[in-house]
Amino acid sequence: MKTFFLGANAQSYKGSKVQNAARTKSIFFILFSLFYSLFTFGQEQDSTQVNQLDNVLVSAVRVTTKTPVTFSNMDKKEIKFRNLGQDIPVLMNYLPSVVTTSDAGGGIGYTGIRVRGSDATRVNVTINGIPYNDAESQGTFWVNMPDFASSVESLQLQRGVGTSTNGSGAFGASLNMLTDRYASKPTGEVSGSFGSFNSQKETVKFSTGLLNDHFELAGRLSRIKSDGYVDRASSDLKSYFLQGTYVGKTTLIKALVFGGTEKTYQSWNGIDAATLNSDRTFNSAGMYTDEAGNVRFYDNETDNYKQDHYQLHWSESFSDKWSTNLALHYTKGQGYYENYKEDADMAEYNLNPVGAITITDLVRQKWLDNDFYGTTFSAKYKDEKLDVILGGGWNKYEGDHYGKVIWARNASQSELGDHYYDDFSTKTDGNIFAKANYQFTEKLSFYGDLQYRRVEYKADSPETGLVDDTFNFFNPKAGLNFEINQKNTLYFSYARANREPNRTDYEGGNVKPEKLNDFELGWRFNSEKFQLNSNFYYMGYKDQLILTGRLDDVGAPIRANTEKSYRLGFEFDATISLSDKFILRPNFTLSSNKNVDLAVEGQYYGTTKIAYSPEVIAGNIIVYSPIKSLHISLLQKYVGEQYMNNIELPEAKLADYFVNDLNVSYEIKPKSIFKSITITGLVNNILDKKYVSNGAMWDIYPYYYPQAGINFLAGLTLKF
């Protein structure tokens, strides 16, 4: 869930916040004007050169097989076969070391991802190199950008520390996404899908193609609705994407505006063990007892949020050796979640007692109004032996948190619009980095990466205290890549990472930043019909902020420092072409994830397993294409047992599970009207496995988030 924090009065900050936001918007309007003025001139472009320029947007944060980093790629073709409304984490479910979950149980709404046992706050996410993680909670909320997968050209998931990037430091993985490339010719696309739980998606896309060989305008509108597998776990999601591109011989300029609105009925509470066995879809959110003693559910126990992103990118190729990228960005987020609170303490909401009455039923809203803006930049030099990137970024977050009581049975002295708390926070994050690949010999290359990052964070919430912290992090990385022959490559790398606590961490007090040393040893094999990637990793932590399994009063995961811990594992993935019709894509991870000499609240537990870290994760995709236009895929996922706390309490164990999905796609290419007609079907959990992918602990009592049994989605896409 999004985190809406309590806090002290922040009126003195608001004037400067509004001025800064207005100033930022003015800068963007000026830059957009300059951008449009460029359309009046330009040289004839070279398509090959411009396609390379498109890669400059993410070249500062992406890697290739020449770099000693462990990674996986997904392109638009692979995404489209299963893009029927489910969130991006669900589409990534079959990548190595990935575990996903869905609060509503069906993959639409609030979804989450863990990589190598590290939760979403440890996965650094960038869009065209721009940070996406929430600056305070460090989480990613895909529900704010529904159907964003329809505008993604490709994505790369780097496991471990990866390369230096922008935004919060990566402690489990880095995910960077490149949005749609420009189209040379006009295109249009209409798609729709429907399925179980009254799920439906409608998407419209267009592109003008290159006008006057220089300018393209493209866009998308989407809507997704679902009732969810869990009771009342409904989603009503809308999103848009608009992109203007200027193409010159050596210049590529992109202006992007995208975002979305979401309204989801809350399904964050989970259910206890007894309810899991008797009523898997039960949802306690919004439940209360009315004056007549009847159990009822508040019909607007919802989360409501709107987020808009503005990006401006300028990529320039000065020669065959030099290229640069400069980006400016601004994100506006605003929304609230609403709760019915039964027998609330009036004093907590600044309400005076009414005679002897000190408690009341009420409906509250917790608001978040934030601005995030900044710049990223990079310069790249490449010749036959040396590939160097110099870059960095500066970003600022300003967050206003406040709460309102919109109804109370005993309203006391309250007035409509009164705030019962106000809180303001700022976070400034700047970094610079230099990374290089140097080819020592024909077979041996060296990779070096140095990053300096400075973070300043201020908050004034009663939960966090008056926080005013500054962090200075130095993150070196180095590695070797050895090409044994044309088919075999070995690599070894070391990476250092440091990371600041998030806002919820401060609530626990005495919180420390965490440190990580990541060692990766890998082997890549590449032939015409067989590609293999395998690697050993050791991630040694100092003061790792581990998930405790507990949640705070607004559903945010509570973490705590453990002095010493590690993750040791082996990862394997392959693509095997058995014939022109059969392809196998297996992967698996074997790992040991341990706290060393763990002590909790004065009690010593010794060496224990880290919470939410299964020792076995495996996936497989079997693709059968009897004819070129027909693809039939069986997708399989196994996740081993895991604990929801760090003391290996038997009640905290989540059982292992093995699920199978079936995906079918058939494309027709008519001779007129449409360029293609694609029919897609997806049957999730075809064996109807009753499984749980996530949970939490309330003291010693486990709560579970059950996932849907067999369910389906079917879609139709028309391209013209």
Q: What is residue 463's predicted lDDT score, i.e. its pLDDT?
A: 67
Question: What is the number of alpha carbons within 13 Å of residue 251 lying toward its C-beta?
Answer: 16
Token pair listed for 209? 């193609």
- Per residue in 86-108, pLDDT (tens digit) is 999 999 999 999 999 999 999 99
Q: Summarize the confidence of residues 325-344 as an average pLDDT.
A: 96
Q: What is residue 6's predicted lDDT score, i.e. its pLDDT?
A: 37
Q: For the chain, how many helices (H) and strands (E)?
A: 6, 36
Of 60-69, 531-540, 636-645, 692-701, the range with the lowest mean pLDDT is 60-69
Confidence category of residue 10, pLDDT binned at 50, 70, 90: very low
Task: Using the predicted structure, report yes or no on whether residue 597 has a pLDDT greater than 70.
Answer: yes
Q: What residue ranges do the domains of the chain occupy? A: 11-719
Confidence category of residue 61, pLDDT binned at 50, 70, 90: confident
Q: Summarize the confidence of residues 656-669 as an average pLDDT.
A: 97
Token pair listed for 455? 């973070």
Of 395, 424, 300, nearest to 14 by C-alpha is: 424
What DSSP string describes 206-256?
EE---BTTTEEEEEEEEEEEE--SSTT--EEEEEEEEEEEEE-SSEEEEEE
Task: Using the predicted structure, report yes or no on whether residue 565 has a pLDDT greater than 90.
Answer: yes
Of 337, 235, 339, 349, nearest to 287 by C-alpha is: 339
How many C-beta neighbours within 10 Å does residue 32 have? 15
Confidence category of residue 551, pLDDT binned at 50, 70, 90: confident
* pTM summary value: 0.90
Task: Using the predicted structure, report yes or no on whether residue 414 has a pLDDT greater than 90.
Answer: no
The Cα 528–Cα 87 span in angstroms is 33
Confidence category of residue 26, pLDDT binned at 50, 70, 90: very low
Task: Using the predicted structure, report yes or no on whether residue 21 has a pLDDT greater than 50.
Answer: no
For residues 6, 8, 13, 18, the Cα torsion angle rounded to the nearest 10 degrees is 30
Of 608, 617, 619, 688, nearest to 652 by C-alpha is: 608
Task: Using the predicted structure, report yes or no on whether residue 448 has a pLDDT greater than 70.
Answer: yes
CB 570 within 8 A of CB 589: yes
Q: Report the percentage of the chain scoring pLDDT > 70.
A: 91
- Per residue in 359-400, pLDDT (tens digit) is 999 999 999 999 999 999 999 999 989 999 999 999 999 999
Task: Using the predicted structure, report yes or no on whether residue 50 has a pLDDT greater than 80.
Answer: no
Of 395, 600, 366, 546, nearest to 461 by C-alpha is: 366
Q: What is residue 466's predicted lDDT score, i.e. its pLDDT?
A: 80
The Cα 329–Cα 430 span in angstroms is 14
Q: What is residue 51's predicted lDDT score, i.e. its pLDDT?
A: 52
Write down the mean pLDDT value for the chain: 90
Higher pLDDT, residue 555 or 537: 537
Q: What is residue 168's predicted lDDT score, i.e. its pLDDT?
A: 66
- Per residue in 133-160, pLDDT (tens digit) is 999 989 899 999 999 999 999 999 999 9
11-719: CATH number: 2.40.170.20
The Cα 51–Cα 60 span in angstroms is 16
CB 91 within 8 A of CB 149: yes
Q: Summarize the confidence of residues 593-598 as an average pLDDT.
A: 96
Task: Using the predicted structure, report yes or no on whether residue 187 has a pLDDT greater than 80.
Answer: yes
The residue whose two tokens read 């309203």 is 411
The Cα 255–Cα 245 span in angstroms is 7
Torsion sign over Cα 685, 689, 690, 693: negative
Higher pLDDT, residue 255 or 17: 255
Of 225, 224, 231, nearest to 266 by C-alpha is: 231
Question: What are the backbone dihedrals phi and psi of residue 180, each rounded to the nearest 5 degrees, phi first?
Answer: -50, 140
Which 3-state string (H, E, C) describes 486-530?
CCEEEEEEEEEEEECCCHHHHHCCCCCCEEEEEEEEEEEEECCCE
Residue 97's SS3 state is coil
Contacts of 391 (CB under 8 A, 6+ apart): 60, 164, 376, 377, 378, 379, 432, 433, 434
Beta strand 123-127 pairing with 173-179: parallel
Q: Summarize the confidence of residues 182-192 as an average pLDDT.
A: 94
Of 137-146, 415-424, 435-444, 553-562, the range with the lowest mean pLDDT is 553-562
